[in-house]
Amino acid sequence: VRIAAIGDLHYTKESHGFASRVMQGVNENADVLLLAGDLTNMGRVEEVEVMIQDLQYIRVPILAVVGNHDHQSDQVEMLISMMRQGGICVLDCSSCEVGGVGFVGTKGFCGGFGRAQVAVFGEQALKSFVQESIMEAMRLEKTLQGLKTSQKVAVMHYSPIRETLVGETPDLFPFLGTSRLAEVLDRHGVNLVFHAHAHHGSPQGWTKGGIPVHNVARFVQMAHRERAYVIEEIPSG
Ligand SMILES: [Fe+2]
Ligand SMILES: [Fe+2]
């Protein structure tokens, strides 16, 4: 199964035609397209409308997760239902099978990495922040528990590892992802991971358990590779 993956489209209402420019060749090169969040710039209905219209030419299944920008206008539920109506499978701690490969997806959240992870301690605001990160990891875990395919691919917006953030200022790392997600991915033997969000990060890294992780933020891919999206192949289940 050939997987095309891209994130951080940041659609505005002026973006008509953008998808076909950055995703040239997806129909020919891939069997499935993953969108790793920040699909819209401000989380507005008119932005997602343009994106859905632009994606009509894609003939392979499209699986997507939302990003923080898609939350900006507090209407993410509306955006998700519009995408679903438009034929996009939005993964919200849910899974989907294509060609015998299981795909799980979620937005993920912040929280930091390894020993520098922010702890659940002190003010209620800080506890809620970390709690959100723990909840996302738990929901991802539950989704993976339900997945019966031998090949598993995970897509998220925030990063599960530190390595693919290198290039961003380290001060920002705790806000770009959390290793709580990587612990879950390693425990469940996921084969391949895609994330976005870190526009100035690095294209590839690995979890402690050796799972390849691709930062498919289109800015990163355009800076390091010949095209805005990544193509990876995985054996059918
Ligand atoms: Fe972004
Ligand atoms: Fe983002």
Q: Is residue 204's pLDDT more than 90? A: yes
pLDDT at position 226 = 86
Q: Please write the tens of the pLDDT for every residue from 49-104.
A: 999 999 999 999 999 999 999 999 999 999 999 999 999 999 999 999 999 999 99
Distances from the Cα of 97 to the Cα of 31, 64, 83, 192, 235, angstroms: 12, 13, 18, 14, 13
Output the CA 212–ligand 1 centroid distance in Å: 21
When pLDDT is averaged across residues 203-215 and rounded to a whole number, the result is 98
Output the CA 10–ligand 1 centroid distance in Å: 7
Output the CA 20–ligand 2 centroid distance in Å: 21
**Ion ligand 1 residues within 5 Å by Cβ:** 8, 38
When pLDDT is averaged across residues 177-182 and rounded to a whole number, the result is 98
Q: Please write the tens of the pLDDT for every residue from 1-23.
A: 999 999 999 999 999 999 999 99
Contacts of residue 85, defined as CB under 8 A and 6 or more positions apart, other chains included, come to none
Contacts of residue 42, defined as CB under 8 A and 6 or more positions apart, other chains included, come to 12, 69, 72, 73
Q: Is residue 177's pLDDT more than 80? A: yes
When pLDDT is averaged across residues 204-213 and rounded to a whole number, the result is 98
When pLDDT is averaged across residues 211-224 and rounded to a whole number, the result is 97
Output the CA 38–ligand 1 centroid distance in Å: 5
Output the CA 172–ligand 2 centroid distance in Å: 12
